[in-house]
Amino acid sequence: MLSILSRVALPLMESLCVSKAAALRLAEGVRAELNVQDTWVAAVIPGAVDTDLSKGFSPPKNGARSSCRGGARSD
């Protein structure tokens, strides 16, 4: 499970952003490599998820369980 942090760089979160970006690049590389045998590789990038790390982030967030199940935020 990746996050939007794989696509951005935020102050004070550089190491997390870099590791998420590396995981995304890995998924893209594996996808390209396995495409020849029709193996599907997905990188899941949900919206904001309500975790301890995102406590200070004010926009609406998905619950962690619904993000893992593929559900959406419910208001």
Which class for 74: exposed (0-12), middle (13-18), buried (19 or more C-beta within 10 A)?
exposed
Please tell me whether residues 57 and 35 are part of one structural domain: no
Q: Is 73 in the same domain as 40? A: no
Do 37 and 11 share a domain, yes or no?
yes
| CA-closest candidate to residue 68, choices 2, 5, 22 | 2
Residues 53 and 34 in one domain: no
Q: Are residues 75 and 50 in the same domain?
A: yes
The reported pTM is 0.66
Range of 62's domain?
46-75
Taking only the tens place, the pLDDT of each residue in 35-61 is: 999 999 988 887 666 677 667 766 665
Residues 23 and 50 in one domain: no
User: What does residue 51 show for φ and ψ, rounded to 5 degrees?
Assistant: -135, 175
Residues 58 and 26 in one domain: no
Contact 27, 34 (CB under 8 A): no
Question: What pLDDT was estimated at residue 13?
Answer: 82
Number of domains in the chain: 2
